[in-house]
Structure 1
């Protein structure tokens, strides 16, 4: 194999690995729950954090509703504590992605903590946070 052929094959291999990594990251599934609004709250059952088939627990779920312009993400932060933030980037309104334990904007690169605090711009404003209440069996997200 000559040098040119080696470099071509090496570059193609690197490209395939890079594309495969992006594809795998974007294919990772997150549970999405459609919630109904009741008296200014989105109501979810706490069992939404459990996978019915495997009995494993989710650390976060995406919540959609006709009452929301943009989905929100609900994080389980303790055995019975939760945080909810909007998935809309405060820079240009692009939907954010959960990457490891951060929320990232694929359009312009803004990064946010799970609690909505800006880590890296161009976004300057923190994400909208939602107040979360709970009962023994339900989670109530105030709109």
Structure 2
């Protein structure tokens, strides 16, 4: 799987850990930055992975920041992206199974590294259930303005 990943300075450490984890699982990683823990504006590094997913140049995306809130908001502004804000195993499982999330957002300051890696694994392994969720996804996506 090809995974696009991006973070601001507050998510940089987890981004680097997750990148290594993804590569160890045999995935191709597209790192959209940032490249250090020096302060940056998160939209500059979160929008590119979301765009890659929306354009079909990446299969999934992962965005990170201090809380993950702003990062999820930016990613969800990209037409075709369904970014789930994930803070535990159940939030990511439901984001994939019920909402067909193609991007996830993680807050480095809010969860332990071990939990973040579990979230990533579940994101990759959980299939979309389809069925009763498909009409809901269609309604959600039909509501996009741009």
Q: TM-score, normalised by structure 1?
A: 0.30
The structure with the greater share of residues assigned to strand is 1
Max Rg structure: 1
Higher relative contact order (CA 8 A, sep 6+): 2
The structure with the greater share of residues assigned to helix is 2
Q: TM-score, normalised by structure 2?
A: 0.29
